[in-house]
Structures are given as structure tokens and as C-alpha cells.
């Protein structure tokens, strides 16, 4: 959204210069598009890391708290949690309920589940994986707890096919629209249809994570 604000300010200062924006952020928190360029790659990196951590968690009987990026947005954490089958997810958009998390862990323990994964968004109100770990250690002593901060590894590496396709589609459309005289907006894809969102709206409006995915995390943790 910082780029959108900057583009809007530049456009107001130099109205004769055409400016179009593309939604490039791993956080997926821009209004006017279903996906941002980089989001799918970041989620896939996080899911691959958790797939590897599950082997260690299962072998050693551990609870892993995995912190992913996203600033004050929980999209990466939520999508990663669903795709990796995590037992719980903590995101900034919803209050953190440690009692509910402990109930999930206890339910799994009673079913002889020997390990668990919890995905934590870096901007969650709980304050990151270290504070979450300190809260859970006293409430649920059955697991040995380990914390992992994936950090900037999510921002690099080869992009996924989905990100390459999205960037190609939007980049090509932007060139055509500039030739047609379009300006002052960010391009996006909503339900596979090209959209144009004014910079002013893209910078001020933030989408919310799908509540159905939050429910899906609960279902998959059973």
C-alpha cells in the first residue's frame, strides 16, 4: 500500500504522466485483486518448510511454532496453515484465544497425536512465536516446544508458476492499457477478470481473510 500511496502522490504532482500499478507484495493485503504477485511463492516456501518440520516434530514428539511473514496481515499464515494441515493459526485479524489452542492440543493428545504445528503471523497480537511459546509451555507441558522464524527466506527464490502467470498477465495488460491512455490505478485479477482500482482506494482499503479458511483450519486439526 506504500507504493500505491506514493503513486497517488506522484500522480497529483505530475498529472500528465501516466502511471499504472501492479500488485506486488507477498502479503496479499491489497484491495482490488484476489492474488498479489509473490504471495503464492511465499506460501509455498512456508508450506515446504512445515512439511520438513513435521518429520522432526513427529519423530521427537514436539510442538513447533512457525512464524511467517505478512506484516499486519494474516493471509500468508492462514493459507499456509490450511495447506500444511496445521493444528492452529494465529493471525492479526482475529483475537488470540490461548484456551482454545490448548483445547485443540489436548484433543489431539487424547487421540495419541504425538506432534503439532501452529502457524503464527508475525503481526499477531500475541507478539510472535517466543511469547506464544511462553504462554503454551505453562498451559500444555506435554509437548517439548520449538520455535522457528522463517523470516526473509519467504521473499526470495524462484517464483511459482502461479506467480509467473499472474505477473505475465498483469504486465501485458498494463502495457496495453497505457497505450489506451489509462492511468491512476492498480491492476488486479478478481475471479479471473481484469480490474482497475484507483490508487487512492487501493491504498486505504484492506481485504480481510476468508472466515471459511479459519473454520477449515479447525476442521483439519481434528
Cell of 173: 495488460
Q: Is residue 215 packed enough to be buried (19+ CB in 10 Å), middle (13-18) or exposed (0-12)?
A: exposed
Q: Residue 55 catalytic?
A: no
Cell of 46: 512456508
Q: Are 178 and 188 in contact (CB under 8 A)?
A: no
What single DSSP character describes residue 154? G
What gap in Å lies between CA 166 and CA 171, rounded to an integer? Answer: 8
What gap in Å lies between CA 99 and CA 86, rounded to an integer? Answer: 17
User: Which one is catalytic: 27, 40, 124, 163?
Assistant: 27
Q: Are 190 and 33 in contact (CB under 8 A)?
A: yes
C-alpha 171, offset from chain centre: 23
Residue 185 has phi, psi (to 5 degrees) of -145, 160
Q: Which of 137, 115, 118 is nearest to 54 (CA)?
A: 115
Radius of gyration of the chain (CA): 20
Other beta carbons within 10 angstroms of residue 78's beta carbon come to 29
Catalytic residue set: 27
Amino acid at each position: 500500500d506504500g507504493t500505491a500511496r506514493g503513486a497517488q502522490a506522484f500522480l497529483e504532482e505530475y498529472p500528465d504522466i501516466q502511471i499504472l500499478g501492479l500488485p506486488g507484495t507477498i502479503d496479499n493485503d491489497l484491495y482490488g485483486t484476489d492474488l498479489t504477485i509473490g504471495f503464492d511463492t511465499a506460501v509455498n516456501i512456508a508450506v515446504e518448510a512445515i512439511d520438513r518440520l513435521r518429520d522432526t516434530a513427529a519423530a521427537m514428539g514436539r510442538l513447533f511454532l512457525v512464524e511467517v511473514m505478512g506484516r499486519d496481515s494474516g493471509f500468508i499464515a492462514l493459507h499456509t496453515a490450511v495447506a500444511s494441515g496445521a493444528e492452529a493459526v494465529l493471525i492479526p485479524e482475529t483475537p488470540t484465544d490461548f484456551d482454545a489452542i490448548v483445547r485443540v492440543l489436548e484433543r489431539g493428545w487424547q487421540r495419541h497425536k504425538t506432534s503439532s504445528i501452529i502457524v503464527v503471523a508475525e503481526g499477531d497480537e500475541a507478539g510472535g512465536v517466543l511469547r506464544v511459546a511462553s504462554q503454551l509451555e505453562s498451559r500444555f507441558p506435554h509437548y517439548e516446544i520449538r520455535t522457528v522464524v522463517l523470516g526473509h527466506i519467504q521473499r526470495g527464490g524462484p517464483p511459482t508458476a502461479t506467480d509467473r502467470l499472474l505477473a505475465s498477465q498483469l504486465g501485458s495488460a498494463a502495457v496495453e492499457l497505457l497505450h489506451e491512455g489509462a492511468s491512476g490505478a492498480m491492476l488486479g485479477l478478481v475471479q479471473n477478470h481484469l480490474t482497475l482500482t484507483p490508487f487512492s482506494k487501493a491504498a486505504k482499503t484492506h481485504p480481510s481473510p476468508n472466515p471459511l479458511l479459519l473454520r477449515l483450519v479447525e476442521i483439519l486439526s481434528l
